[in-house]
Chain A
Amino acid sequence: MIELQNVSKRYIVGPVTITALDHVSLHIAEGEFVVVLGPSGSGKTTLLNIIGALDVPTEGSVRVNGVELSTTTQAERFKFRRETVSFIFQTFNLFPSLTALENVELGLDISRNGRNGRQTAASILASVGLGDRLSHLPHELSGGEQQRVAIARALATGNPILLADEPTGELDFRTGVQILELLQQQAEAGKTVLVVTHNREISRIADRVIELSSGHIVSDGAPRGGKAPVHALSW
């Protein structure tokens, strides 16, 4: 599903060249729940952005769902994002002038799954526990609720890959756990879920943990001590 071969990403800032990813190779299979772990500046968000076609690698090959992203045009990357990946952001990035229901409808519209959009959006929101918050604007919702709307919006696209960048970063422990549970359910339902975090505790519930440091993969495998249930987490 996701195949990276010798991927590097370098940024040139004035006279300095910063290597965010340095010859990274990896393979992620369909339906895997993968946590990319690493401290700040390790290159984990860059990795996520390259997989999500928000950014292009300086060198190497990135093939996601059969699409070679390192050589695509901007228009092809837009199409890829519309049809293959869905993002969940740390700061939710909901549209403040749209209600919870409309934010989810937007996901349906963008991916052109908009038939019976309102009902579908309502049922997706109900599935993330927000059936009673449909007509609330984002600022009327708590952080956890907003992130659940963001997940619902991502799910509405029907895309096979979910990319979550620090999805619990803005949330308290209890709410964070609920969000992780939702993401885990998506993986169990067959979606490929990639979560980027600096919180090692979260990596315990993954099928696989890829640890990055200074742009290199320093470890890749099952969580240490085996996969834990969500209710066993604490931070």
Chain B
Amino acid sequence: MNTRLYLRWTWRDLRARWLQVVAIAVIIALGTGVYAGLRSVNGWQRRSYDASYALLNMYDLRVRLTEGSYVDANELRAALDELPHAEWITAAEPRLIVPTLVEANDRETPILVPGRIIGVDITGGGPAINRLHLMSGEPFSAQTDPARTAIVEYNFAAYYDLPAQGTIRLSGGHELRRIGAALMPEYFLVIANEIGFMDAAQFAVVVTPLETAQALAEQPGRVNDLLLTLADGADAGQMRAEIEQMIDAHFAGTGITIMAPADDPAHHALYSDLESDDRFFRLIAYLFLAGAAFGAFNLATRIVEAQRRQIGIGMALGMPRVQIALRPLLVGVQIALLGVVFGLLLGQMVGAAMRGLMQDLLPLPVMETPFMARVFLQAAALGVLLPIAATVYPVWRAVRVPPIDAIKSGTLIQKSSRLAALLVNIPLPGRSFTQMPLRNLLRTPRRTLLTLLGIATAITTLITLIGTLDSFLATIDTAEAEFYQNHPERMIVTLNSFYGVTSPRVIAVAERPEVGRVQSGLVLEGELRHSGETIDVALELIDLESDFWRPTVVKGTYPTGQAGILINQKAADLLGVDVGDTLTLWHPQREGLFSIHMAESEVPVSGIHASPLGYLAYMDQSQAALMGLAGVTNVLYVEPAPGATQDEVQYALFHLPGIASVQPVSHFTEVFSDAMELLTGFMAIVAVAVTAMAFLIAFNSTSINVDERAREIATLFAFGLPIRTVLRMTVIENLVVGTLGTLVGIGLGWGLLGWMMRVELGDYMPEVSFTVTLAPLTLLIAVALGALVVALTPLLSLRKLARMNLSATLRVVE
């Protein structure tokens, strides 16, 4: 066999249809490029996370004392030495972590946000575990008097573009010299607390020498946090048990939580994000590749049909079937290779764009972004296999046709599908040429179906992506409506410890002229447990008879003056409980001034509240005795006095001692809204790619149709039918396919969206009841793209139609 002849021959086949070939190659490129680019990002993220956590010596175990508990640092160190396997501990770092408000005045508008002071041992130049990675400024070791210095967390500093050095003020008016900004393993992704999410703009972490933090918190010599690294081969489970026993023995009544790196909120979010991102990226890439497959199948079928007589001649000449099949198959291979080359280039571009996005969004000490050869190979394999597979079926069919049939020409090969024949007996409205679009669609049902599916694939991708955004926003709206109710000006003042409701610090808040109404409450971290299921909650104890604010109960009743808890429907579903059932509440219980431990209580479910956030649970303030916290508060709900603004309240309270944060209630939804903006940017990029794919699929199909029906179109022209009428027929034909494809796409997209929100995000954020919805604008975009853009694609054939050589086309014999 003359290989070079075949290659030349197939190259000519490609050139004859170069526009369609390029269109398919670009669709394949979109699929392989998106696959390679997005999945590379996933690999880069994993490598960068691993390397960054290793570089900064992330802890193996972290011991957190329950909020409000403190122990003596020296006693804690001594107790550690007495552990049965003390030799497993390679390093121990006691820390003091206290909430605060942070003010930075480097810019015209002062920044005032809640934050956290982390006091660390700087004798070795800085913490040995969870090290600081200095991004700007100087380390503690370079200071002659580090006592009044602080290093701020880099994401906060970068968000506000703070200079490397300056000053910061903390609650109570304490001022520190800011000597630098650093990345820290616990805040690679800034998550303020269990219910936080991407808080860089809203939360400032300030690292100070341990003694400084102890002085600021008025807890001299005490700590409430311990980081440990363990030797290779150490049994972390055994070490946990020994630490729990040690705390019981040495610090009776003190509650602790022992965490592994996977329990760290940022660590958990970053790594679990990798899994869900990977599934999400793969889904998008597969949808693109499916679109490419449909398009490639259409083109391959058309090429094979156009070669039908030549295949017949080959058969008549006695060529083996394999040899006959080689020519169209080689075309498939060439399209595939072209698509893959484009795709790999596009993958590099997507990767480069994502690399930049990654560095901007998530700065890490180590960024590893090598060429991901394996991912690119997988992308290339998919990109090559799909069009070849799409070519095989039509080729297989073509070489099975008896030579005498294959070799027929002209009228002898005219055929119509059974579907078109069915229409014969169905009266259709309009003139004969207005009926033709529908008949033409049914005449080539396979191509119609594949085009329809291709468009549906694009719309499915679009609906899934934008629907995710719509659903997030709808969920935020629901949460916001519940937070606001009739008091959108409401603010939440978090105290840095528990105070009596009539203590001077609480009274001081109420007496500020900027503050109007005040209501005290308690916010405690805890867990709800039932039937083996556990969910973390932020438990609020508030006056459930108040007309200031209380959660809306959608089922059951308010447990006013009695034991009972309000949870949301998602939490009830996860725990398998309903109103009237009893669940176990794991909650803090105070026993002494600095001694709070966790305890279990059985609590009936009184009702279901309206918030979509399942980590919110409410009890009546009267039940504080259950936690040993009767008459005390750690959170105040305030409203600005008439004429005062929220900013004025924030500044007024900042100067008061004991205030950890002052935030408008809108803050909780603003954080999500900020995150949505990032998502919107990503969605916009994919939406452009999806539009390109839908357009290319429609263009290809139209182009194939115009080619295939050239003789019919020429006949219409020969009879004097104007170009615009022929064009209108094609537009109607595309409008029908586009509309059907859009409807199918919307249906499939809706199903996929539901699956994404309930199953995928259900795994990632199990405590949130997402509202699965599609905004009218999304549907409009889908229709505009799927029906209108597709319908208008034939306008690109105008030039081709206007320049058609009628006399030559009318005599074409295929």
**Chain B CB within 10 Å — which of A46, A98, A108, A138 has the most?**
A98
Which residues of chain B are within 8 angstroms of A89 by Cβ–Cβ distance?
715, 810
Residues in A128-159 with C-beta less than 8 Å from chain B: 135, 137-139, 143, 146, 157
Which residues of chain B are within 8 angstroms of A92 by Cβ–Cβ distance?
411
Residues in B797-813 with C-beta less than 8 Å from chain A: 802, 806-807, 810-811, 813
Asked if A110 and B425 make an inter-chain contact with CB atoms under 8 angstroms apart, the answer reads no
Answer whether A93 and B715 are a contact pair too, CB < 8 Å, given A82-B720, A135-B425, A143-B411. yes
Answer whether A138 and B411 are a contact pair too, CB < 8 Å, given A96-B416, A98-B432, A109-B433. yes
Which residues of chain A are within 8 angstroms of B718 by Cβ–Cβ distance?
52, 54, 81, 87, 93
Shortest beta-carbon distance from B434 to chain A in Å: 8
Q: Does B215 contact A (CB under 8 A)?
A: no
Q: Does A102 contact B (CB under 8 A)?
A: yes
Which residues of chain A are within 8 angstroms of B433 by Cβ–Cβ distance?
106, 109-110
Asked if B720 and A81 make an inter-chain contact with CB atoms under 8 angstroms apart, the answer reads yes
Which residues of chain B are within 8 angstroms of A157 by Cβ–Cβ distance?
719
Q: Does B443 contact A (CB under 8 A)?
A: yes
Residues in A71-118 with C-beta less than 8 Å from chain B: 74-75, 78-83, 86-87, 89-99, 102-103, 105-111, 114, 117
Residue of chain A at shortest CB distance from B425: A135
Contact mask for chain B residues 710-722; partner A; CB cutoff 8 A; 1 contact, 0 none: 0110111111111
Which residues of chain B are within 8 angstroms of A81 by Cβ–Cβ distance?
717-720
Which residues of chain A are within 8 angstroms of B802 by Cβ–Cβ distance?
74
Contact of A91 among B411, B416, B719, B722 (CB under 8 A): B411
Q: Does B284 contact A (CB under 8 A)?
A: no
Q: Does B400 contact A (CB under 8 A)?
A: no
Q: Does B436 contact A (CB under 8 A)?
A: yes
Q: Does B431 contact A (CB under 8 A)?
A: yes
Q: Does B474 contact A (CB under 8 A)?
A: no
Cα–Cα, bound, A92→B435 (Å): 21
Shortest beta-carbon distance from A193 to chain B in Å: 17
**Chain A CB within 10 Å — which of B432, B714, B806 has the most?**
B432
Contact of B432 among A55, A75, A105, A170 (CB under 8 A): A105
**Chain B CB within 10 Å — which of A49, A91, A103 has the most?**
A91
Asked if A78 and B722 make an inter-chain contact with CB atoms under 8 angstroms apart, the answer reads yes
Residues in B15-52 with C-beta less than 8 Å from chain A: none
Asked if A78 and B416 make an inter-chain contact with CB atoms under 8 angstroms apart, the answer reads no
Asked if A97 and B443 make an inter-chain contact with CB atoms under 8 angstroms apart, the answer reads yes
Asked if A54 and B806 make an inter-chain contact with CB atoms under 8 angstroms apart, the answer reads yes
Which residues of chain A are within 8 angstroms of B416 by Cβ–Cβ distance?
96-97, 137-139
Answer whether A83 and B411 are a contact pair too, CB < 8 Å, given A55-B806, A74-B802, A97-B436. no
Residues in B374-418 with C-beta less than 8 Å from chain A: 410-411, 414-416
Which residues of chain A are within 8 angstroms of B421 by Cβ–Cβ distance?
137
Residues in B67-108 with C-beta less than 8 Å from chain A: none
The number of chain A residues touching the other chain, given as a range, is 35 or more
Q: Does A192 contact B (CB under 8 A)?
A: no
Q: Does B424 contact A (CB under 8 A)?
A: yes
Residue of chain B at shortest CB distance from A114: B431
Which residues of chain B are within 8 angstroms of A135 by Cβ–Cβ distance?
424-425
Asked if B717 and A78 make an inter-chain contact with CB atoms under 8 angstroms apart, the answer reads yes
Q: Does B723 contact A (CB under 8 A)?
A: yes
Residues in A20-67 with C-beta less than 8 Å from chain B: 45-46, 49, 52, 54-55
Cα–Cα, bound, A170→B717 (Å): 23
Residue of chain B at shortest CB distance from A81: B720
Asked if A97 and B432 make an inter-chain contact with CB atoms under 8 angstroms apart, the answer reads no
Q: Does B267 contact A (CB under 8 A)?
A: no
Answer whether A98 and B439 are a contact pair too, CB < 8 Å, given A81-B718, A105-B432. yes
Which residues of chain B are within 8 angstroms of A103 by Cβ–Cβ distance?
432
Which residues of chain B are within 8 angstroms of A117 by Cβ–Cβ distance?
431-432
Answer whether A75 and B722 are a contact pair too, CB < 8 Å, given A96-B416, A96-B443, A137-B416. yes
Residues in B760-814 with C-beta less than 8 Å from chain A: 802, 806-807, 810-811, 813
**Chain A CB within 10 Å — which of B424, B443, B721 has the most?**
B424
Contact of B411 among A87, A106, A111, A170 (CB under 8 A): A170
Cα–Cα, bound, A78→B802 (Å): 11
Shortest beta-carbon distance from B760 to chain A in Å: 44
Q: Does B276 contact A (CB under 8 A)?
A: no
Cα–Cα, bound, A138→B439 (Å): 14
Contact of B711 among A83, A93, A138 (CB under 8 A): A93
Shortest beta-carbon distance from B309 to chain A in Å: 14
Asked if B810 and A93 make an inter-chain contact with CB atoms under 8 angstroms apart, the answer reads yes
Shortest beta-carbon distance from B725 to chain A in Å: 9
Shortest beta-carbon distance from A13 to chain B in Å: 12
Which residues of chain B are within 8 angstroms of A97 by Cβ–Cβ distance?
416, 420, 436, 439-440, 442-443
Residue of chain B at shortest CB distance from A83: B720
Cα–Cα, bound, A97→B718 (Å): 18
Cα–Cα, bound, A108→B720 (Å): 12
Cα–Cα, bound, A106→B425 (Å): 17
Answer whether A102 and B720 are a contact pair too, CB < 8 Å, given A91-B411, A97-B440, A137-B421. no
Residue of chain A at shortest CB distance from B410: A91
Contact mask for chain A residues 149-184; partner B; CB cutoff 8 A; 1 contact, 0 none: 000000001000000000000100000000000000
Cα–Cα, bound, A93→B720 (Å): 15
Residue of chain B at shortest CB distance from A134: B424
Cα–Cα, bound, A137→B424 (Å): 8
Cα–Cα, bound, A158→B420 (Å): 29
Which residues of chain A are within 8 angstroms of B439 by Cβ–Cβ distance?
97-98
Cα–Cα, bound, A54→B717 (Å): 9
Asked if B435 and A107 make an inter-chain contact with CB atoms under 8 angstroms apart, the answer reads no
Cα–Cα, bound, A82→B720 (Å): 4
18 sampled A-B residue pairs with Cβ under 8 A: A49-B807, A74-B802, A79-B720, A82-B720, A86-B719, A89-B810, A91-B811, A91-B813, A93-B714, A93-B718, A95-B715, A97-B416, A105-B432, A106-B432, A106-B433, A110-B716, A138-B411, A138-B416
Q: Which 3 A-B pairs have the closest CB atoms?
A: A82-B720, A81-B720, A97-B439
- Extra contacts, 14 of them, besides A55-B806, A99-B424 (Cβ < 8 A), are A46-B807, A79-B720, A80-B720, A81-B719, A87-B715, A87-B718, A91-B411, A93-B718, A95-B715, A96-B415, A98-B436, A102-B435, A106-B432, A106-B433
Question: Which residues in B have some Cβ–Cβ distance to A below 8 Å?
Answer: 410-411, 414-416, 420-421, 424-425, 431-433, 435-436, 439-440, 442-443, 711-712, 714-723, 802, 806-807, 810-811, 813
